[in-house]
Amino acid sequence: MKSTAERMIRNLSGQRRSWQGLRAVASALLLLLVCAGAAQATNWNVQAGGSRLEFVPRELTIEPGDTVTWSNLGGLHNVVADNGAFRCANGCDGQGGNGAPSSQIWRATVTFNQPGTFGYFCEPHGQPGGGMYGTITVNGGEPPIPVTLNGRLIGLLLGLALITGAALALHRSRG
């Protein structure tokens, strides 16, 4: 009788220990998930003009959702997308601003959500791919964050189910 009771207590405490372990693993995974979801968009700076008729850096690689801010360091410049998606200087056309070339010390910010390579140029000093021009490459391949989170969540739940199943099976085979 005593040994049976001891075994039961030992089993119970073992089970509790394994559940505590599982809970710790689950908490750690959830924390990772939350951190991954909190990834911040980055703002990138590109200088326009100044001492040279150039955009610096000319080529820039960013992530979807990042923003690019062009700053005029001096001279008559603007920023126009090859595909017509934006035309900016003192703000952007169609967004309450004026994209006409300006020698003011302007700043203009554009958000890039779609993967791909986007060329742009300054109207007075460049054309697509020539003169005062540049490219923004937006990395692709990664689905939007909500889909990523859902995918991770499903993977996490499947993983937890597998771990739980294995732990239970192990526990049962021991008992």
Close Cβ partners of 103 (under 8 Å, ≥ 6 residues apart): 72, 74, 75, 76, 77
Q: Is 80 in the site for Cu ion (CB under 5 A)?
A: no
Q: Out of 87, 89, 110, 125, point to the residue binding Cu ion (CB under 5 A).
A: 125
Residue 109 burial by Cβ neighbours in a 10 Å radius (0-12, 13-18, 19+): middle
Q: Is 46 in the site for Cu ion (CB under 5 A)?
A: no
Q: Is 87 in the site for Cu ion (CB under 5 A)?
A: no
- Give the integer Cα–Cα distance in Å for 146 and 89: 33
Q: Out of 46, 88, 122, 136, point to the residue binding Cu ion (CB under 5 A).
A: 122
Size of the site for Cu ion (CB under 5 A): 5
Contact between 99 and 110 under an 8 Å Cβ cutoff? The reply is no
Q: Out of 46, 60, 64, 77, point to the residue binding Cu ion (CB under 5 A).
A: 77
Q: Is 60 in the site for Cu ion (CB under 5 A)?
A: no
Q: Where are the beta strands (DSSP E) in the chain?
A: 43-48, 55-56, 59-62, 67-72, 79-81, 87-89, 91-92, 107-111, 116-127, 130-138
Nearer to Cu ion, 100 or 166 (CB): 100
C-alpha to C-alpha distances, 168 to 67, 160, 161, nearest whole angstrom: 49, 12, 10
User: Which of these segments, 37-45, 127-135, 136-144, 155-163, binds Cu ion (CB under 5 A)?
Assistant: 127-135
- Work out how close the CB of 122 gets to Cu ion at its nearest, in angstroms, rounded to a whole number: 3
For Cu ion, the nearest residue by Cβ is 122
Q: Is 79 in the site for Cu ion (CB under 5 A)?
A: no
Enumerate binding residues for Cu ion (CB under 5 A).
Answer: 77, 122, 124-125, 132
